[in-house]
Structure 1
Amino acid sequence: MIKLCGFALSNYYNKVKFVLLEHSIDFEEHFVKPSQNEALLEHSPLGKVPYLETEHGDLCESQCIVEYLAARFPDKRIFSADPWQAAKEREMIFFVDVHLELTVRNLYKEAFFGGTVSDAAKGRVENLLTHHIAGFKRIAKLAPYLCGENFSVADTAGYVNLPLVGMATQTIYGRDFLLEAGIDWKSYVKTINARPAAQRVTEDRKAYVAASRAS
């Protein structure tokens, strides 16, 4: 049995979980939070989540995990059967995960966790995001899904990451960079949330947040 290790507040954990649920792949969830504890480092070399425990060993990094699942379960058709379309799905995931989310992640300390981000860092992020969002807009179809008329694996990344871009920029700069660029991520997320797998991911995340506040 595949074991998905992490916790429900992690967007990359939820990306992998969405893929597993969407394609009806059996798995167990194991609650693990990031740390530099030696016990965790034996499984995840940087102490990050998610990571996967398999009969072959451990695997970290969300996109590596998704690629492994696609190769291990070819009948699930996680990526498009058409090589070009599959490549475009990978391109879209890279844009969302790296150019958007990993850029805006530099703001999370202040946007979500009560810390402070320097004005210089905010300026750098603003410049990068403006450039990256313009590029994203050139390839994102949003018709209604990221790659066109049909739901694809790219939407598992879009669903968990685009809200973070919108919310973080709204909090830090007083304006939502995605909406400002004409990218209606709120309607997009509503469309994705009609899927049972997305609903499960969201419900589990909300339950985790509620339990954390109550403790």
Structure 2
Amino acid sequence: MITLHGFAASNYYNLVKHALLYKDIPFEENLVYPSSDELLAVSPVGKVPAITMPDGFNLSESSVICDFIEESYPDTQLYPADAKERATVRQIMKIAELYFELPSRRLIPFTFSGTQVPKPIAMEVRQVLERGIIALNHLSQFSPWVAGEHFTMADIYLYYVNTIVSAFAARQLDWDIMAQIPGMTEWNETMSQSDIAKRVDADRLTNMPEFMQYVQAQIKAVHTK
């Protein structure tokens, strides 16, 4: 059985978990936090998520894991068969990560510490998000799914990227970012109502208090050095 290493408060962990559940692949979860010795044993840089296959093969990086899962368990497909359509799905995933998720992450420390985001950082984050908005407006279809008629890995990836965008960038910048992309808000609501998304979110809420204790401990450790 596959072991999924990480914690349920992580959006990257959750997108891999969603893919495993969607494909109905048996797996077990191993609760572990970043940079611990246990995680470093299965992830070269101590990042969440990581998976361990039944034969002991370890793999990290969420997009790499998603590709590996697709190739190893092809019965329920999450990528189109056509090479160009498959490339478009991966392009949407990469843009969502680089121009939506990563800039939004820059605002996490200010949210957790309750401090004001410096104006230059807020402006930089907004500029990157605006590039992402332009790109996703160009590539996304929402007819009804992100890449067209069929549910793909792009739907899973973008949905969990949006959890970070909504929790941090949208709140800190006071900006309804999803509303800038026609169809995204409605699609996001549809995604949230699936049985898998509800299960993943319930697990996230259960893990959140322990995760926040971990975050506060990390902040305290930095300040006492």
Q: State the TM-score, normalizing by the size of structure 1.
A: 0.89
* Residue of structure 1 equivalent to 2:156: 156
Determine the structure 2 residue equivalent to 1:118. Answer: 118
| Residue ranges of structure 2 left out of the alignment (5+ in a row) | 214-225
- In structure 1, what is the equivalent of residue 95 of structure 2? 95
Tell me the number of residue pairs that the alignment of Structure 1 and Structure 2 aligns.
Answer: 213
Q: Cα 1:182–1:83, aligned 2, differ >3 Å: closer, same or farther?
A: closer
- Taking structure 1 as reference, are residues 163 and 66 closer, same or farther at Cα in structure 2, changes over 3 Å only? same
Could you tell me whether the CA contact under 8 Å between 1:103 and 1:129 is conserved in 2? yes
State the distance in 1 between where 2:117 and 2:58 align: 34
Residue 154 to residue 182, structure 1, CA distance change in 2 (3 Å): closer
Report deviation, 1:53.
1.0
Note the C-alpha offset of 1:182: 3.9
Partner of 1:50: 49
TM-superposed CA distance for 1:73, in Å, is 1.2
Contact 1:93 1:157 in 2 (8 A): yes
Q: Report what 1:202 is aligned to.
A: 201
Which deviates the most, 77-86 or 131-140?
A: 77-86
The 2-side partners of 1:82 and 1:196 are apart by: 29
Question: Any conservation in 2 of the 1:109–1:117 contact (CA below 8 Å)?
Answer: no
In structure 2, distance between residues paired with 1:123 and 1:105? 14
1:19-98 aligned within 5 A: 19-35=19-35, 37-54=36-53, 55-98=55-98
String of CA shifts for 1:90-144, please: whole Å, max 9, x gaps.
1111111222111211112223553554322222111111122111111111223
Counterpart of 1:169? 169
- Aligned equivalents of 1:75 and 1:191: distance in 2? 24
Question: In 1, Cα distance between the equivalents of 2:60 and 2:77?
Answer: 21
Q: Which residue of 1 aligns with 2:139?
A: 139
Quote the residue 2:188 is aligned against. 189
* Residue-by-residue CA offset, 1:149-207 (whole Å, 9 max, x unaligned): 3211111112111232234233222222332x244543222211232222211121122
After superposition, the Cα gap between the structure-2 partners of 1:109 and 1:213, relative to the gap in structure 1 and judged at 3 Å, is closer
Q: Identity rate of aligned residues, in percent?
A: 31
User: CA 1:128–1:211 in 2, change beyond 3 Å: closer, same or farther?
Assistant: closer
Q: Taking structure 1 as reference, are residues 199 and 123 closer, same or farther at Cα in structure 2, changes over 3 Å only? A: same
Note the residue ranges of structure 1 that are not aligned, 5 or more in a row. Answer: none
- Tell me the distance in 2 between the aligned counterparts of 1:67 and 1:182: 27
In the alignment, the residues of structure 1 paired with residue 204 and residue 212 of structure 2 have an alpha-carbon distance, to the nearest angstrom, of 13
Offset, 1:75: 2.1
- Whether the 8 Å CA contact 1:169–1:176 is kept in 2: the answer is no
The alpha-carbon distance between structure 1 residues 32 and 74, as it changes in their structure 2 partners (threshold 3 A), is same
TM-score normalised per structure 2: 0.85
Contact 1:19/1:156, CA 8 A, preserved across alignment = yes
CA RMSD between the two structures: 2.3
Q: Specify the alignment match of 2:129 in structure 1.
A: 129
